[in-house]
Chain A
């Protein structure tokens, strides 16, 4: 029975598991069209709009004081938020992946909270806590500390929103690697710090690197949460995404797209770095595969030439 079916099945799909050619062409075409429509076209539009009034206007839009201040604030925010989340993320991933404790599932869920909460809500939480009418508002005012409508609020909101990126990247990686190497290091006499520095960190460096890249991209691009806490004070509490919105609303569309193109550029750089990281990993694996086969007969008893250790 099966012998009768086999030849006809083979003639329809040559590879056994491959679809017919027209199906493959259709699927690829749909995928490419989708990518062109939703990813490539908008990116191209941003660049064309940004350069509509010429290169000079583009440069002017980026050199305008408010734009420079927005860029500076964005960079500062990222410079604070990313290192903080680097430490928090590694610590959270380490705890979740390497230890068993009560409430672990809860902590894992908590790490994901910023992903599931709308950024606007995240911003509002900080306004409710630290705003003039908020829980700590009177105390903060009494001590002349400004959080909401100031840089600290923007940093807080950004840290909250970008918290899961590094932890999420590391947890599956660390879980798959297990504890064995760390235990081996400790048995060999390494301290906790030596174990982390020489064993754990080298094993997670690419995952960590990619997590930092993603975290940074989001920290620079965050709009919702930052918009709620920033107060939109030009030249003081405007980040790049907020600056883009203001320019656009005031019909300076060329200038808006010029600043937006910087953010788009950041996305492209992120993708490029990611590709390079993956390419390097792939190269290492390929090099491993091309090594000569192992030597035979090394266990032969007559080859045993024992020397005292040390």
Chain B
């Protein structure tokens, strides 16, 4: 089932939770709503479910207006962040609940319910836990029971609120893969909320990056990663260094007067001395030992950590008048190169950005770190 979200607005008191959000979700898609806490992603999910009502705007399921349809009749499956399993019921009764509360006319009999519940428990590979209570399950098991319970009513759309948020790292990775495979099998339209960019990029068909109640970018994981539409998206997806400067005629100048570095910024060919911010990923630097005529950002290596194949380096570029208030720069190079060059802490190095993204004027606003 496709979902069409049009101009949704929602305020909580003075706080703008959602500010004119529009979004189209195709049937059978797996969508991630990604953003920092307080960006409105959970509110949007709850409005789609019908657990909250929007102040303005409409929601349509398969072209049919559902804005005023009660949550009971929306036929959505919702998996809560903390699962919200019924604590006084066994796993079996939890999954059976959606079937047992159906109106008498459409309610399946006990044998049918048992059949269906066991099929669902098999689907989530937890049939052996049918007689246990939620308190007796691990986090990952609760998560999957919550999913089985949501699927019992054959929802047209599955909504998951931070589905892996409360799990430890290893379980989270396994469940992530498992959810993806489950979705491919059932092909029910699925939307999940997350603040973890890795999770969003790995699992979803399309990522919706949100910030301050608005959609920043919608796109396939690869597209969002390679070509962030805004400074916020660039900063939110992975670590990044930012450099302030000015852009003139397609060239951005950063660094001090003595040691200037020019970055190509073809988006701003017509600009003249426009304040801008350049974003450089830590692994997009060439790191060399200092020599006076080399072009690049001169910086002191403060700390280097080599774990596995990557050397993480923290450097400080002196501003006019010494090291006080100097900007911290993170750079990453292959560990082999680090050992080959034998850089030591305290050395002066030159950083040459291989690749940079420049945002000037209004686009530079909204930068945030995850």
Interface residues of chain A, those whose CB is within 8 Å of chain B, are: 180-181, 183-191, 194, 198-199, 202-203, 288, 291, 294-295, 298-299, 301, 303-310
Q: Is B120 an interface residue (CB 8 A)?
A: yes
Q: Is B78 an interface residue (CB 8 A)?
A: yes
B54-62, B79-87, B315-323: which one contacts chain A?
B79-87
B104 partner residues in chain A, CB cutoff 8 A:
none
**Shortest Cβ gap from A196 to chain B (Å):** 12
Contact B84 A288 (CB under 8 A): no
Chain B interface residue number, banded = 35 or more
Contact B88 A202 (CB under 8 A): yes
Known contacts A185-B97, A191-B72, A306-B182; 4 further A-B pairs (Cβ under 8 A) = A199-B86, A288-B133, A294-B137, A299-B178
Interface residues of chain B, those whose CB is within 8 Å of chain A, are: 49-51, 71-72, 76-78, 80, 82, 84-89, 97-98, 101-102, 116, 119-120, 122-123, 125-126, 128, 132-133, 135-138, 140-141, 149-154, 171, 174-175, 177-178, 181-182, 185-186
A194 partner residues in chain B, CB cutoff 8 A:
101
Nearest A-chain residue to B82, judged by Cβ: A180
With contacts A188-B98, A198-B97 taken as known, whether A309 is within 8 angstroms of B154 at the C-beta atoms is: yes
Contact B120 A309 (CB under 8 A): yes
Nearest A-chain residue to B100, judged by Cβ: A198
A288 partner residues in chain B, CB cutoff 8 A:
133, 135-136
Nearest A-chain residue to B88, judged by Cβ: A202
Contact B123 A203 (CB under 8 A): no
Q: Which of B49, B122, B136, B175 contacts A307 (CB 8 A)?
A: B122
Nearest A-chain residue to B128, judged by Cβ: A295
B137 partner residues in chain A, CB cutoff 8 A:
294
**Shortest Cβ gap from A204 to chain B (Å):** 10
**Shortest Cβ gap from B87 to chain A (Å):** 7
With contacts A186-B72, A198-B97, A309-B119 taken as known, whether A180 is within 8 angstroms of B154 at the C-beta atoms is: no
Nearest B-chain residue to A292, judged by Cβ: B136
Contact B72 A183 (CB under 8 A): no
Contact B87 A181 (CB under 8 A): yes
Contact B119 A307 (CB under 8 A): yes
Nearest A-chain residue to B50, judged by Cβ: A187
**Shortest Cβ gap from B214 to chain A (Å):** 26
Contact A180 B84 (CB under 8 A): yes
Can you offer 24 A-B residue contacts whose CB atoms are under 8 A?
A: A181-B84, A181-B85, A183-B78, A183-B80, A183-B84, A184-B84, A184-B85, A184-B86, A184-B149, A186-B72, A187-B50, A187-B71, A187-B72, A188-B149, A191-B72, A198-B86, A198-B101, A202-B88, A203-B87, A291-B132, A294-B141, A299-B175, A307-B123, A309-B186
**Shortest Cβ gap from B225 to chain A (Å):** 25
Nearest A-chain residue to B174, judged by Cβ: A299
Q: Which of B89, B97, B123, B175 contacts A309 (CB 8 A)?
A: B123
**Shortest Cβ gap from A289 to chain B (Å):** 9
**Shortest Cβ gap from B13 to chain A (Å):** 11
B135 partner residues in chain A, CB cutoff 8 A:
288
Q: How far is the CA of A281 from the CA of B91 in the complex (A)?
A: 20
Q: Which of B71, B86, B122, B177 contacts A181 (CB 8 A)?
A: B86
Contact A299 B140 (CB under 8 A): yes
**Shortest Cβ gap from B135 to chain A (Å):** 5
**Shortest Cβ gap from A290 to chain B (Å):** 10
Q: How far is the CA of A308 from the CA of B248 in the complex (A)?
A: 60
With contacts A288-B133, A299-B175 taken as known, whether A189 is within 8 angstroms of B82 at the C-beta atoms is: no
Contact A190 B123 (CB under 8 A): no
A202 partner residues in chain B, CB cutoff 8 A:
86, 88-89
B85 partner residues in chain A, CB cutoff 8 A:
181, 184
Q: How far is the CA of A188 from the CA of B85 in the complex (A)?
A: 12
Contact A305 B122 (CB under 8 A): yes
